[in-house]
Amino acid sequence: MASAKQTVSELGRPGPYPVLRGELALVGLPGTVFTPTSGEGLPAIAFGHDWLNPASRYLGLLRHLASWGIVAAAPDTERGPFASHRRLATDLRTALDVCSSVRLGGTARGAAVSVDPRRLGLAGHGMGAGAAVLAASVTAHDTRVQAVGEPYWESGSDLTVKAVATIALSESRPSAQDAARAVHVPGMHLAFGKDLVAPPAAGAQPVAAAWAGPSVLRTLKKATHLGIVEGKHWSDLVLDGKPEPATAATVRGLLTGFLLHHLTGEKRYADVTDGSVKGTDVRVYRESSTV
């Protein structure tokens, strides 16, 4: 059996599936979606971008996930300096709803892919990670009204999210830490050891500790806040860090393995979440047979 280090290295390379790119704007939501060229009942995630950053800085990551059979959508909204975490969370859920309710891709011969609504996940970077937690905390239509002082959540959704991954999470308004107390699905929280924008102790760590479901915090010791983004952008002037190919490859492998395990039941990737991987430290806050 391959070690977690070997598995992450394997999953950090492009997968076996050819990939198509589409635009969420065709259904009224600015953003991008990547899918395998064909498939039925596929898993899907919605990915939230960081503060000030466009979704285009994550195209390589989205394409990578699709190459492993995961439909990956990224809304390109809430990019201004006064962006709303709550609205981005709503857009993440809208993206999941689109992916799970319509056939995606296709050619003149009619081939297309479909998503299994029981295989949905959320992920994000920085601000987008906080928004992903808010989106995951949304409850079903028939849940009672929230009482004063209870952890944040909103009611009114038919979507069921099965797993959440956060990357260099920065705190949000409403609080992602409060929202985490209402999230009972597995969570993998990737923190960056040299992050000056969202230090682990102020971002990922308290959220991982507050998480209601299985929760694992992994710190990439040498990574900076912008380690997973691609290319240059004017926001680099106000956000610390830079693109780091080694960080991006490790995150791709960890995220792919976590999602394949929890969204498709691939048990051979179970050790990716909390196994030993060079250059990282792991802390398990809550575990179960599914982590």
- pLDDT score for 53: 95
Alpha-carbon distance values, 236 to 127, 171, 239 (Å): 15, 19, 5
Does 45 have pLDDT greater than 90? yes
pLDDT band at 108 (very low <50, low <70, confident <90, very high): very low
Strand partners, 286: 215
Please give the residue that has the higher pLDDT: either 51 or 157. Answer: 51
Overall average pLDDT of the 224-249 stretch? 92
Please give the residue that has the higher pLDDT: either 286 or 108. Answer: 286
Coil, strand or helix: which one is 203? coil
Percent of the chain with pLDDT over 70: 89
Dmax (CA) for the chain in angstroms is 55
Query: What pTM, to 2 d.p., does this model score?
Result: 0.90
**CA–CA gap between residue 27 and residue 36 (Å, rounded):** 19
Overall average pLDDT of the 94-107 stretch? 81
- Identify which of 16, 121, 106 has the alpha carbon closest to the alpha carbon of residue 67: 16
Phi, psi of 133 (to 5 degrees): -65, -45
- pLDDT score for 151: 46
- pLDDT score for 1: 61
- pLDDT score for 154: 46
**Averaged confidence pLDDT in the chain:** 89
- pLDDT score for 288: 60
**CA–CA gap between residue 267 and residue 28 (Å, rounded):** 37
* Residue 176 neighbours by CB distance under 10 Å: 30
Q: Are 228 and 242 in contact (CB under 8 A)?
A: no
pLDDT band at 237 (very low <50, low <70, confident <90, very high): confident
- pLDDT score for 289: 53
Tokens standing for residue 54: 């466009």
Length of the chain: 291
Does 121 have pLDDT greater than 60? yes
- pLDDT score for 153: 42
Strand partners, 271: none
Does 47 have pLDDT greater than 50? yes
